[in-house]
Structure 1
Amino acid sequence: MGFWNREGVSPSGTLFSWDELSRISRKGALLSALKEKGQLYSPEDLELMLNRYAKKLENVPKDYGDSLLYYARIQIVDGYHRMMTDELSEIRGAVPLASSWKKFTADAKAAASKGTPGDRLRSLKYLIAAYTVYIREEPVHPVGMPFPGGFSVELYDGEYYCPVRAVWNDIDDAFCKFCPAIQSRERDLLLSKSERDIVTKKEKLNNYFYNFKG
């Protein structure tokens, strides 16, 4: 594919300035910038990210670790490919970015300015997350990503839900504070899908009669 970097860029050091990206205010301009910065990376960079993630899972039960690694590949590799091949219509490209964008870029700059060899890959992680959250308006963790307790990120009735959204919101190096997902409700964790469908249908009917039928 033509967007890969095959020039042998040094793997150390930050490749670009997040200050530059912080000044972008529209989705179209951001997607173009993300693609430009994404070209600085190679397939080996993505595999290195996955290998480092896998290293962190060495003490995790194998079945759970394998599941996490599967979704991490969706998050990292598939996320990168979507970022590099996506196109926005003129109307979508003119949509303003969410107000949290400047805070996101400030966090990205801090994460990629630690003066270590990991700065470069941390910038890549933030690039992919920027695409997922601010262009696609999706959670950084893919739908189906499992968390301790047996619950996972899900898309239900047009809304993204995450079982740890509230718990992880204040963790500095987590993306949760920028994530469009909302905290899973107690009933989401206790009821089956069919039971939730019944409850949701009743709520919609009650809302209709209350707001439109007096």
Structure 2
Amino acid sequence: MSPTTSDPERLRIEEACSRLASARTKGELGTLLAREAERYTLVDLQMIGGRLYREVEALPPPYREAVRPFFTEQVLGAYHRLLSMHRAGKFAAMTAPLTDPGQALAYVAMVPEGCFCWDDSGVAGYEPRHRFFYYLVAAFEMFVLDRPGHPVGMPFPGGFSVEERSGRFLCPVRDREKDVPHSLCNFCPAEQSEMP
């Protein structure tokens, strides 16, 4: 993947994705993701947390209250796990190859466009690099830890949730996002759960 634009923010994201595409092991990818995540300042994290809060607040009750801790875990919990593992040196011991290198490459190839395809102009200070943060922490969960992009237990409308059964992850919306090209679901290691 080579950079394709002169827009500085897009170029930075494309260059970061090019570095991520070079990872061959879970530890290499974890290290590269952590280095990118370390670039985010406290102000950036406040902006990301504020955007997350507004998105959850827009949901109808009581679903809003049920899903709030899972969205927080999905974004900020994953960020803290990523940096904690990096700072503890755990990625150095993770020499196993990526479980699905083709899927990981397709994901990082999709990310730059995913960061710029949304109109975030109505949110003062929110920039594509903030959206890139979501893609970074999701890549950590899906390709380093082989876990779903949405946390186990996360509820969805209709009373369904992400489940873990005998080491397999099942998601009620896994295959419902096929028409959304920048969706995490298209790259998630979870399987579509059977709907009743």
TM-score bucket of the superposed structures, by smaller chain: 0.7 to 0.9
Task: Report the TM-score when normalising by structure 2.
Answer: 0.79
Cα distance in structure 1, aligned partners of 2:44 and 2:66? 21
Native 8 Å contact 1:132 1:140 kept in 2: yes
Map of 1:197 onto structure 2: none
Q: 1:64 to 1:44 in 2, by over 3 A?
A: farther
Q: Using the alignment, how far apart are the partners of 1:47 and 1:109 within structure 2?
A: 22
Q: Is the 8 A contact 1:50 1:72 kept in 2?
A: no
CA distance in 2 between counterparts of 1:96 and 1:152 reads 26
- Separation in 2 of the partners of 1:13 and 1:113? 10
Please tell me the root mean square deviation across aligned C-alpha atoms, in Å.
Answer: 2.3
Asked if 1:137 corresponds to 2:146, the answer is yes
* SS of match in other structure, 1:173: coil
**1-side partners of 2:183 and 2:9: how far apart?**
22
- What is the match of residue 13 of structure 1? 9
Whole-angstrom distance in 1 between the partners of 2:169 and 2:177: 16
Q: Corresponding residue for 1:169? A: 178
Q: 1:111 aligns with which of 104, 111, 114?
A: 114
Aligned to 1:35: 34
Paired position in structure 1 for 2:4: none
Name which of structure 1's ranges 71-80 and 165-174 shifts more when overlaid on structure 2: 165-174
SS, match of residue 93 in structure 1: coil
Check 1:44–1:150 CA distance in 2 against 1; reply closer, same or farther (3 A cut). Answer: farther
Preserved CA contact (<8 Å) 1:133 1:139: yes
- Pick the structure with greater CA Rg: 1
Residue by residue over 1:19-60, the C-alpha shift from the partner in whole angstroms, topping out at 9 and shown as x without a partner, is 222122221211111111111013443332232133234442
Find the aligned partners of 1:36 and 1:28 in 2 and give their Cα distance: 12
Which sits farther off after the overlay, 54-63 or 142-151?
54-63
Any residues of structure 2 matched to 1:33-112 within 5 Å, and which?
33-86=32-85, 87-88=90-91, 90=93, 92-98=94-100, 99-112=102-115
Distance, in Å, in 2 between the alignment partners of 1:66 and 1:46 is 22
**How far did 1:68 drift?**
1.9
Question: 1:178 Cα deviation (Å)?
Answer: 0.8
Tell me the number of residue pairs that the alignment of Structure 1 and Structure 2 aligns.
175
Identity across matched positions, percent: 30
- The 3 A distance-change label for structure 1 pair 150 and 44 is farther
Between the aligned partners of 1:110 and 1:73, the Cα distance in structure 2 is: 24
Q: Secondary structure at the match of 2:9?
A: coil
- Among 122, 127, 131, which residue is 2:131 paired with? 122
8 Å CA contact 1:138–1:181 kept in 2: the answer is yes
Cα contact 2:115–2:129 (8 A) shared by 1: yes
Structure-2 change in CA distance of 1:109 and 1:64 (3 Å): same
Separation in structure 2 between the aligned mates of residue 149 and residue 47 of structure 1, nearest angstrom = 31
Task: Give unpaired runs (5+ residues) of structure 2.
Answer: 1-7, 121-125
Query: Which residue type is aligned with residue 28 of structure 1?
Result: G
